[in-house]
Amino acid sequence: MTAHSYFDLHVHSTDGSDDAGGTVEGYCKWVEARRKSGYHIDGFVLTEHRRYVADIDYTALAEQYGVTILRGIEVETDVGHVLVYGINDDFLARFDLSDIALPYAEVFSAAEESGGIAVGAHAGRPRIGLVEHVGERGVSLETVGIIEALNGGSSDYENGRSFDLAEEHGLLTVGGSDAHFVSALGRCLTEFDTVVTSNEELVTALRGGEFRPVRVEDTREGATRKELPSAAHIPATSGQGDLGGDAIELDESAIGQEVHVGSLEVTLHTIAEYCEALEEVNPLYTDAEWAEREGPYGSIIAPPGILNTARLRPGPDPQIRFGDQSFMAGSRLETFEPIRPGDTIEAFTQVKEVYEKTGRSGRMVFVVRRTRYQNQDGVDVAATEGSMVLRKVKALDG
Amino acid sequence: MTSQHNPLEQRFFDDVNLGDEFEELQEPTTEHVLQFMGRTGRRGEDDPGADRFTDLTTARSQGLERPIVPGNMSMAMITRLVTDWMGPLGHIIQLDVSYRRPVLHGDRIRSVALVTDAEVAPRVHLDLSLENERGERPLQGTAIVTLPTRS
């Protein structure tokens, strides 16, 4: 009987990916829990965005949970994202990993020459997967041998396009969850017909070709495998912009400079108004008598979301000249102390970071602002981080 | 946008297990969005980009199929799922969300939270997501909350 092993080949963590919420220990605990439910997951590969994180030692975690933790990277190329396994100094010396438009053919060749192997990530996604580039630009697949066709973050249609490409061009296929959050790990996996315990063995197994993409449900003993997706579904979002271009112009002196951007007077009335707008009925925020008698703070407090109602000035402007549209990309709220009626909250904002990456809509620039909220006693009560994405868009007809 | 959890009902750390999942179904309409924006001061002459949240023509000129739900409102939807589940003595330590696709007016949204760690009292870690009827997850995130213990 063949000794199969099951690996999630595409995982992002808070140790190296700006948009991930899953910790490596959280992933290990999740694997442990999935095993208790009868699923088979041997390990996972950390493939952080544009960063090879080699300086964190996961040995203790791996031993504690009995999970094999391997490392690769997800880089961005002129034909979309590419997963590289078996990374070494030779490969790292050849590229600036922060570049969002690396030459794809060189990435695939360099991985092979340096003892590793490259895989076209989420091949069916618009802009950042191979399918569109092969179909629209006639990109050559000469250096490409494997694509990720079963991707946990892609729609069935997108995955179906990947399988179609693989069949048409004789490519091998793998599965990966593309997990950014703990509970996503293992949704899609790769089944190897051999035992894998190290980065070197992973490369050997991928070069050997004895593997296939599976869903986590398929790893249960006696499971009947579901059909893999076809492209005969409704298409998801269409591509919008380009993947590369000139360097972004910005005023770097604005980064890290904290300024006062406004204040918020919190009263029983403003708390009541906010609760009404959100149909909030938690008595901690709405019932003075209950809050005094039963609540942990001795009085009504404000829901933390009330900070969103503050009319704040935008703060330092890094003057980025890119794109014609901005969207919220992420929000973080950290609470430290309760906000009470009668508080005057002062807000201080700084631009924490500016960076770029590519996604379904093409090239994007992210601006991360951190705002600190301080009460009249000089105590920080909360902090928020907001990430805005700037991009170029095409209008839809009609 | 009604809640399926009674926020007066207190949840205790002792009763929470890894893998527990809870959800609410929501369908944010144009009326809901207008109400949210009006109440939270999002609408007005100081916010020219706000039209894409309410106006079809503006939304389509920006490559969107329909007007979209503001990110703050999506965050409020997922926050409310958590606060309703926790009960009044629960406390959100940190809530972190990533907006991966737009939520469109009229989307049928399933707000889902899943317990990913409940080993060390009183902290509970949650994965959060909004899922639409097309099988997409427009919002994903995490929360760390504290719950009271029974002892």
Average pLDDT on A370-376 reads 96
Interface check for A54 against chain B (CB to CB < 8 A): the answer is no
B89 part of a folded domain = yes
Shortest Cα–Cα distance, A195 to chain B (Å): 28
Instruction: Say what the pLDDT of residue A209 is.
Output: 96
To the nearest 10°, report the CA torsion of B70, A303, A330, B96: -140
Average pLDDT on A276-284 reads 79
Distance CA A108, CA A147 (A): 11
pLDDT digits (tens, 9 = 90+) for A124-136: 988 899 998 998 8
B99 part of a folded domain = yes
Which positions 211-250 of A are in contact with B (Cβ < 8 Å)?
234, 236-237, 240
Distance CA A193, CA A211 (A): 6
Tokens 């949204």 correspond to B109
Q: Do the chains contact at B88 and A282, CB–CB below 8 Å?
A: yes
Partners of B97 on chain A (C-beta within 8 Å) are: 330-332
Partners of A325 on chain B (C-beta within 8 Å) are: 62-63
B50 part of a folded domain = no
Distance CA A320, CA B134 (A): 34
Reported confidence tier of residue A175, pLDDT bands at 50, 70, 90: very high
Partners of A29 on chain B (C-beta within 8 Å) are: 18, 116-117, 119
Residues 6+ apart with CB under 8 A from A114: A86, A88, A90, A91, A94
Instruction: Say what the pLDDT of residue A397 is.
Output: 61
pLDDT digits (tens, 9 = 90+) for B39-82: 655 554 455 567 888 888 888 887 888 999 988 889 888 988 99
Shortest Cα–Cα distance, A386 to chain B (Å): 10
Q: Do the chains contact at A330 and B116, CB–CB below 8 Å?
A: no
Find the CB nearest A181 among B41, B99, B142.
Answer: B142
Average pLDDT on A289-309 reads 88
Name which of A199, A205, A83, A207 is nearest A145 in CA terms: A207
Kindly state the tokens that stand for A67. 């999970």
> Do A321 and A315 meet the contact criterion of CB atoms below 8 Å apart?
no
Interface check for B102 against chain A (CB to CB < 8 A): the answer is yes
Domain residue limits at B135: 13-28+68-146
Q: Do the chains contact at B99 and A328, CB–CB below 8 Å?
A: yes
Higher pLDDT residue, A260 or A228? A260
In the beta sheet, which residues pair with residue B140? B98, B129
Instruction: Say what the pLDDT of residue A6 is.
Output: 97
Instruction: Say what the pLDDT of residue B65 is.
Output: 86
Interface check for A379 against chain B (CB to CB < 8 A): the answer is no
B104 part of a folded domain = yes
Reported confidence tier of residue A239, pLDDT bands at 50, 70, 90: very low
> Do A116 and A91 meet the contact criterion of CB atoms below 8 Å apart?
yes
Reported confidence tier of residue A362, pLDDT bands at 50, 70, 90: confident
Q: What type of residue is A370?
A: R
Instruction: Say what the pLDDT of residue B139 is.
Output: 92
Interface check for B111 against chain A (CB to CB < 8 A): the answer is no
Instruction: Say what the pLDDT of residue A170 is.
Output: 96
Interface check for A56 against chain B (CB to CB < 8 A): the answer is no
Q: How many other CB atoms are there within 10 angstroms of residue A81's CB atom?
A: 30
- Check pLDDT > 90 for residue A117: yes
Instruction: Say what the pLDDT of residue B48 is.
Output: 57
Interface check for A329 against chain B (CB to CB < 8 A): the answer is yes
**Nearest chain B Cα to A27, which residue?**
B116
Number of compact structural domains in chain B = 1
B121 part of a folded domain = yes
Partners of B61 on chain A (C-beta within 8 Å) are: 395
Interface check for B94 against chain A (CB to CB < 8 A): the answer is yes
Cβ-Cβ pairs closer than 8 A, A with B, add up to 141
Instruction: Say what the pLDDT of residue B2 is.
Output: 47
Instruction: Say what the pLDDT of residue A323 is.
Output: 75
Name which of A215, A200, A225 is nearest A117 in CA terms: A200
Find the CB nearest A19 among B76, B98, B129.
Answer: B98
Kindly state the tokens that stand for A299. 């009085």
Higher pLDDT residue, B28 or B42? B28
DSSP class of A371: E
Residues 6+ apart with CB under 8 A from A169: A134, A141
Instruction: Say what the pLDDT of residue A276 is.
Output: 79
ipTM of this predicted structure? 0.80
B59 part of a folded domain = no
Average pLDDT on A384-388 reads 90
Lowest mean pLDDT, pick from A126-135, A286-295, A326-335, B30-39 = B30-39
Residue of A34, A177, A282, A388 for testing the chain B interface, max B β-carbons within 10 Å: A282
Q: Tell me which long-range contacts A95-100 makes (C-beta under 8 A, separation of at least 24).
A: A97/A50, A97/A51, A97/A52, A97/A73, A98/A50, A100/A50, A100/A76, A100/A243, A100/A244, A100/A356, A100/A357, A100/A358, A100/A363
Q: Do the chains contact at A398 and B60, CB–CB below 8 Å?
A: yes
Average pLDDT on A224-233 reads 72
Reported confidence tier of residue A171, pLDDT bands at 50, 70, 90: very high
- Check pLDDT > 90 for residue A150: yes
Instruction: Say what the pLDDT of residue A122 is.
Output: 96
Kindly state the tokens that stand for A378. 């000089």
Strand order from edge to edge, sheet including A146-151: A172-176, A146-151, A117-120, A80-85, A68-77, A43-46, A5-11, A188-192, A211-215
Q: Do the chains contact at B101 and A237, CB–CB below 8 Å?
A: yes
Which positions 40-69 of B are in contact with A (Cβ < 8 Å)?
40-41, 46, 49, 60-65
B34 part of a folded domain = no
Average pLDDT on A16-35 reads 92
Average pLDDT on A145-167 reads 91
Shortest Cα–Cα distance, B106 to chain A (Å): 17
Instruction: Say what the pLDDT of residue A322 is.
Output: 78
Name which of A97, A30, A21 is nearest A69 in CA terms: A30
Burial class (CB in 10 A: 0-12, 13-18, 19+), B22: middle
Q: Do the chains contact at A276 and B39, CB–CB below 8 Å?
A: yes
H helices of chain A, in order, are 24-36, 59-65, 89-94, 104-113, 130-137, 156-169, 199-208, 268-277, 283-286, 288-293
pLDDT digits (tens, 9 = 90+) for B110-139: 999 999 999 889 999 999 999 998 878 899
Shortest Cα–Cα distance, A227 to chain B (Å): 17
Question: Chain-wide mean pLDDT for chain A?
Answer: 89
Reported confidence tier of residue A107, pLDDT bands at 50, 70, 90: very high
Q: Whole-model pTM? A: 0.77
Q: What domains can be seen in chain A, in order of their start residue?
A: 5-219 (3.20.20.140), 252-391 (3.10.129.10)
B19 part of a folded domain = yes
Name which of A370, A361, A269, A276 is nearest A323 in CA terms: A361
In this structure, what CATH number is given to the domain that contains residue B116? 3.10.129.10
pLDDT digits (tens, 9 = 90+) for B76-109: 889 889 988 998 889 899 999 988 888 999 999 9
- Check pLDDT > 60 for residue A220: yes
Residues 6+ apart with CB under 8 A from A195: A3, A5, A201
Q: Do the chains contact at A330 and B98, CB–CB below 8 Å?
A: yes
Partners of B141 on chain A (C-beta within 8 Å) are: 21, 181
Interface check for B27 against chain A (CB to CB < 8 A): the answer is no
> Do A132 and A147 meet the contact criterion of CB atoms below 8 Å apart?
no
Instruction: Say what the pLDDT of residue A268 is.
Output: 94
Shortest Cα–Cα distance, B13 to chain A (Å): 16
